[in-house]
Amino acid sequence: AQSVTQPDIHITVSEGASLELRCNYSYGATPYLFWYVQSPGQGLQLLLKYFSGDTLVQGIKGFEAEFKRSQSSFNLRKPSVHWSDAAEYFCAVSTDNYGQNFVFGPGTRLSVLP
């Protein structure tokens, strides 16, 4: 069965600093890959997704992610973090064409220092 790991439980960065959140997956083929963000008391919002093609994908709010097949990774990056980016970030994989089998990672909590 597929699985998703996010090695960092909690990350703290200063406002304006760059950010990279790590995600690794375990699956025999290339899955569909996603990053979602969850603000306190809110549901999850899709930041970006990768299906195929260009391995660097752009998302909303200035986020981007890079798929590296050789490392089974899909790391999320942002060049300059804003205080409003403080939230929980979840990496997820789907292994079928219709998303009937979604698996989320445990999440990384991002804190932003003023």
Partner 1 sequence: DAGVTQSPTHLIKTRGQQVTLRCSPKSGHDTVSWYQQALGQGPQFIFQYYEEEERQRGNFPDRFSGHQFPNYSSELNVNALLLGDSALYLCASSLASVGANYGYTFGSGTRLTVV
In the complex with partner 1, the residue whose CB is nearer, 70 or 100, is 100
Task: Kindly state the smallest distance separating residue 94's Cβ from partner 1, in Å.
Answer: 5
Left, alpha or beta for 79 (phi > 0: left; psi -120 to 50: alpha)?
Answer: alpha
Q: What is the DSSP letter of 85?
A: G
CB of 58 to partner 1, least distance (A): 15
* Beta carbon of residue 55, minimum distance to partner 1 (angstroms, whole number): 17
Amino acid at 100: Q
Choice between 14 and 97, CB closer to partner 1 = 97
Q: Which residues contact 102 (CB under 8 A, 6 or more apart)?
A: 92, 93, 94
Question: Would you say 2 and 93 are in contact if contact means Cβ atoms under 8 Å apart?
Answer: yes
Q: Which residues bind partner 1 (CB under 8 A)?
A: 4, 32, 36, 41-46, 49, 51, 90, 92, 94, 97-107
Q: Amino acid identity of 35?
A: W
The residue among 16 and 51 lying less far from partner 1, judged by its C-beta, is: 51
